[in-house]
Amino acid sequence: MVVLTGARQVGKSTLLLNEAPFASWRYVTLDDFGALDAARRDPGALWAGASGVVLDEVQRAPGVLSAVKAAVDSDPQLRIALSGSANLLLMQHVSESLAGRAAYVELGPMTLGEIEGTEPTGILGDLLAGHLPADGTARREAPMPHMTRGMMPRLIGTSEDQAASWWEGYVATYLERDLRQLSQVESLPDFRRVMEMLALRQGQLLNQSEVARDASVTQPTTHRYINLLETSSLITRLPAYAVNRTKRIVKSPKPYWFDTGVASFLAGHYSAEALAASREAGGAFEGLVMQHLTVLARLLTPKARLHYWRTSTGLEVDCVVEHGGRLLALEFKLADRVGFGDTEALRVFMRDYPETVAGAVIYGGNEIRRLADNVVALPWTVIAGAKPGSAVPATT
């Protein structure tokens, strides 16, 4: 089995309907009331006589997972793909994990390279192998429009106004429909305020008490709402990198939205100019880079794990990539130029953790150059897999 999850509208159904081998399988969506009724009364009817079946929006009937498990155990030839806009492993009322029977894949928004039709970049694997790119130049691409518009398939080529309107409908649909499928929420306005507070804190240490205070919601309710956002694949919590060392490490996670476009919308920044003038610009850039790093980490076998590192004195490395006993330290800077002074935290981390093979400062310029021993400046377009040529213009 394959379990494909991800936020709504990232393209899960489109992929399963068009990509081999799933395109030749029977397709059943539980958005259809007849199929949903069958899933609850007689789930075996959904795949009867089929060698392969796609069950879409499976979070609407999580009880079907036990029948799926029994079906694949009794028929080794049966192939099933499960898809939904909720992370089944995080849903509290799902007791069946399908352990040992399913491969779990999470689909994110588009990357810049995917939008432009380029092959996946191997830069993350190269850096983890200690191979730093030679000095040179990459394509210069202003990150700010991507940070406000976002990278969802439906937003390709849209204007800022069109993107803001689309995100408005997206958030409303999530609050009024998807959320009610997952849990009983007492107050949608309260939930919306929690979302807005988290958007203002993207890339910062998560203090749930502060979020609760600023949203005028109780701390237990805030905790539950954050869990629901994570279950529906809208946010992830980046954990701290912590091992037994003499220095005390801050353990609170950092929240990142699945697409920085929705974070900018919820924070009230509907244009690149408004976002650039805000305090949230740096966090939005971190979110944009993390979107692409998450994709690259999932392409490695096995998947790389992502963390951040921060000491009690405030020294911080934005992302620590862990893979096969090796570490890669990354800093994010929303700037056109970076220098040796921007490598301080990286150099301290690399000194304290000798298993770190390289460090990189990912920034908004276009120069690739060595900043310090085993530390390189990388334009964000290199991580994003952009074409070397000029940017793809947006519709205005």
Same domain, 195 and 324: yes
Q: What is the pLDDT of residue 95?
A: 52
Domain for residue 171, yes or no? yes
The secondary structure of residue 94, as a DSSP letter, is -
Domain for residue 63, yes or no? yes
Same domain, 262 and 137: yes
Highest mean pLDDT among 86-90, 241-245, 358-362: 358-362
Same domain, 176 and 323: yes
- The two most distant CA atoms of the chain are separated, in Å, by 65
Q: What is the pLDDT of residue 97?
A: 62
Q: What pTM does this model have?
A: 0.90
What are the distances in angstroms from CA 191 to CA 39, 72, 183, 203, 228?
30, 39, 12, 20, 10
Domain for residue 343, yes or no? yes
213-250 confidence digits (pLDDT tens) = 999 999 999 999 999 999 889 999 999 998 755 444 66
Same domain, 98 and 148: no
Same domain, 101 and 132: no
Last residue of a domain, one of 80, 106, 132: 106
Q: Please say whether the beta carbons of 376 and 147 come within 8 A.
A: no
Examine residue 133 and say whether the peptide bond preceding it is cis (omega within 30 degrees of 0): no
Same domain, 63 and 212: no
Same domain, 43 and 153: no
Domain for residue 393, yes or no? no
Residue 334: is its pLDDT beyond 80?
Answer: yes
Q: What is the pLDDT of residue 104?
A: 86
Same domain, 235 and 161: yes
Domain that holds residue 95: 2-106
Q: What is the pLDDT of residue 244?
A: 57
Domain for residue 389, yes or no? no
Last residue of a domain, one of 106, 126, 141: 106
364-386 confidence digits (pLDDT tens) = 999 999 999 999 999 999 999 99
The backbone region for 224, taken as left when phi is positive above 0, alpha when psi lies in -120 to 50, beta otherwise, is alpha
Domain for residue 226, yes or no? yes
Domain for residue 354, yes or no? yes
Q: Please say whether the beta carbons of 291 and 385 come within 8 A.
A: no
Same domain, 65 and 131: no
Cα angle 114-11-154, degrees, rounded to a multiple of 5: 75
Q: Tally the domains of the chain.
A: 2
Torsion of CA 328, 307, 252, 338, to 10 degrees: 50
Same domain, 56 and 125: no
Q: What is the pLDDT of residue 395?
A: 40
CATH number at residue 62: 3.40.50.300
152-177 confidence digits (pLDDT tens) = 999 999 999 999 999 999 999 988 88
43-69 confidence digits (pLDDT tens) = 999 999 999 999 998 888 888 888 998
Question: How far is 136 from 6, CA to CA, in rounded Å?
Answer: 36
Last residue of a domain, one of 81, 106, 131: 106
Same domain, 143 and 254: yes
Same domain, 174 and 273: yes
The runs of H, that is alpha helices, within the chain are 12-18, 33-41, 64-74, 112-116, 123-128, 144-149, 160-173, 179-182, 188-200, 208-215, 219-231, 260-266, 272-276, 281-299, 344-352, 380-384
DSSP codes joined into one string, 174-190: IIIIIHHHH---S-HHH
